[in-house]
Amino acid sequence: MSTNERRSLGFTSTTIIGRSRVLRNGNLKKVVLLHPEITIQNCQRWPMPGMVAFGRRWGIASDDLVFPSSFELFVRVLWWIGTLALYTLHKGKFDCAGGRVLHSYLVVLLVLLAFIILSLCAIVYVSAQGTITNPGPRRSIPVLVYLRAMLYVPELIWAILGAIWVSDDSQGCQPAEVGAVIAAVVASWILLLSTGVGVLFVFDPLGSSHPGPQSQEQLGVRDLESSQGSQLLSTARSVAVRVWESRLRLLCCCLPRDESHRAAFSSIAQLVSGFFSDTDLVPSDIAAGLALLHQEQDKMEQCRDPDEVLSHSPSSPIAEDLEAELEKAAHCMQFAVAAYGWPMYVYSNPLTGACKLSGDCCKTQSAEYDIVGGDNMGCHFSSILHSTGLQYRDFIYVSFHNQIYEIPFFVALDHKREAVLVAIRGTLSLRDLLTDLSANCENLPVEGVSGTCYAHKGMSQAASYICKKLLNDGILNQAFTIAPEYKLVITGHSLGGGTASLLAVLLRSSFPTLQCYAFSPPGGLMSKALADYSKEFVVSVVLGKDLVPRLSYPNMEDLKRRILKMVSNCNKPKYRILLQGCWYELFGGEPDDFPTEMDNRREEELNQPLLGEESLLIRGSSSYQGLSSEDSPVHCAHLPLYLPGRILHITEDGPSRRSCFSQVRYRAEWSSETAFRSVLISPRMIADHMPDAVLWSLRSLTQDRPFNLCPSSLSNSHLNVI
């Protein structure tokens, strides 16, 4: 092996003798050679951030102990001061039956607390040293953790003895003394239980090392290219998938264990485990990277010239007016919001919503209307009536049936727009979430479309389910029999928006004049061929920095790569990054000018795996390719997926941070899918996705009324800026 080859693997001079073991690092698959005879010389200093203690890797890093240890230190110091004050005030006065025991108990407790305080001080100090990618100054953290863990044993024993003293020997003692011991015992048990919960929280089921088959053969780096090395990697991947399946089953324990759910769990587990397979970052590393990336993006946005506003869609005739599209979108969004049923209605009308629905919820229209599943009390249907303003007779079909890949929808006659309107609900249940996360590609052949046709698996199957219901059950035939001159309009928000777009693609050949308005659809929805085809009849509406329209596998890979670069290049400790990041998110200010390069950092080192997790793998991760280049392409094994149709982007004018009662001004412009190829970090990345926020922004663009940011004022709109 040449010097360059050895260097590309993360070391310059290596002697490796031993047997292979598969070490699971949280969400990471790593092949490591573990044996006392192994020696690795002149290794790069890329460390593994997950703290290794008690023979396993944990879901925290050595620099994650600053905040929890500081909080415990604060509690312990107050506890020690209170115990010392009690001992000083009552010294020589412990004349009750159990006074001698109480005296000894307090003395030992003071000494024990002093040792605990000293150990916590050491942990806080050492954990605050170094940076995320330079844990060298924190190499003594495992020893301090072992020391702190040992102190839990006498603390547990003393808590038990204190409880025994209170129950048996406290008669005749002063109430203050008994109360102090009770407080000490309760505090000890609370801290012990909190520690136990914390251990469970950071426990990583993939963090232990499991020895492989015993073999006398000596394995080197080249052996990992052999069938035995491939078998190790395959075993690691299988273990990761099984663990993620277990997590999903635990999360969705209330769902039935039928074949469709098992298949969904398996598909999602493979996707998620594959995404995290080449990183070894703990959650706090990701949080720090997001904080750094947000400030970096804000700095770039401040330096960027305002984008040119297009008054018309680049792919539509000039005669198609932007304001007319906004009017149609605002009207359809009312139905997309109504499809969420009573939860969204009560959320949008917190003071009056429950009262308005209470009189109608127990009324049933099942004898007259085809209400299917999930609405026994009639609350969903009542909220739809209130939200849309339609009459009972205007509804052709309403389904609240909800299973994985089968989502609620309703069909109604919209006399105002002369349309047969199909509104599909967005995510509102665990089953919907599983449909969202089934993000693998699935073939979706469409007649008349040239090019490869594929789409998001979960939404594709949901669209196929609704399509079969509409056609095979004669729902659309019934609607067009009543109103033959009406046209078909399909709408939905989020999951409903993505499903509506794919449903429109499926029905386009049968209904050439149909239109679809998809609000906040997911970015990873359909292939390029289908996205181009849908531009003729689909309009996607995206608000601000909404996360979901920017969610796709390539975008997430790009986000992961950027996070790796940010944490690699920042030479500040993690606790400072998180504190400054929280301050920036809450109170704003100027983005911190973090350094872009670390001292004596070679560019070629930035191209190596951040944490050395691939130092024994022959093929490097795409996440680390081109770390030193912000615009380096991300090579993803997953097929690229795009937003559907033409994209109408609504953004806020003026500064991004305002007070609660500030008036908001919006503008709308036609955009392209290239504007959504990266995830934008912002406090509003989730808020901008909420259906009520999208509806209010559309109303504010079509109705000239003031609009405030406060939740109590969100029913108002704002000044119209197009």
- Known catalytic residues are 494, 546
d(CA 462, CA 607): 42
User: Which has the closest alpha carbon to 426: 676, 177, 695?
Assistant: 695
According to the 3-state scheme, what is the secondary structure of 209-247?
EEECCCCCCCCCCHHHHCHHHHHHHHHHHHHHHHHHHHH
Please list the residues that pair with 474 across neighbouring strands. none
User: Which has the closest alpha carbon to 50: 75, 73, 30?
Assistant: 30
Kind and range of the H or E element at 24? strand 20-25
CB-CB contact of 498 with 521 (8 Å): yes
User: Other CB atoms closer than 10 Å to residue 648's CB: what's the count?
Assistant: 22
d(CA 344, CA 690): 10
CB-CB contact of 230 with 10 (8 Å): no
Q: Rounded to whole angstroms, what are the CA distances from 489 to 332, 334, 335, 495, 511?
A: 9, 13, 11, 17, 10
User: What are the φ and ψ backbone dihedral angles of 686, each rounded to 5 degrees?
Assistant: -95, -40
Burial-class residue 1 by CB neighbours within 10 Å (0-12, 13-18, 19+): exposed
CB-CB contact of 199 with 205 (8 Å): no
CB-CB contact of 606 with 568 (8 Å): yes
Query: In angstroms, how far is CA 395 from the centroid of its own chain?
Result: 37
Q: What is the dihedral of CA 646, 649, 650, 655, to 10 degrees?
A: -170
CB-CB contact of 442 with 458 (8 Å): no
d(CA 280, CA 46): 11
- Token pair, residue 560, equals 């992961």
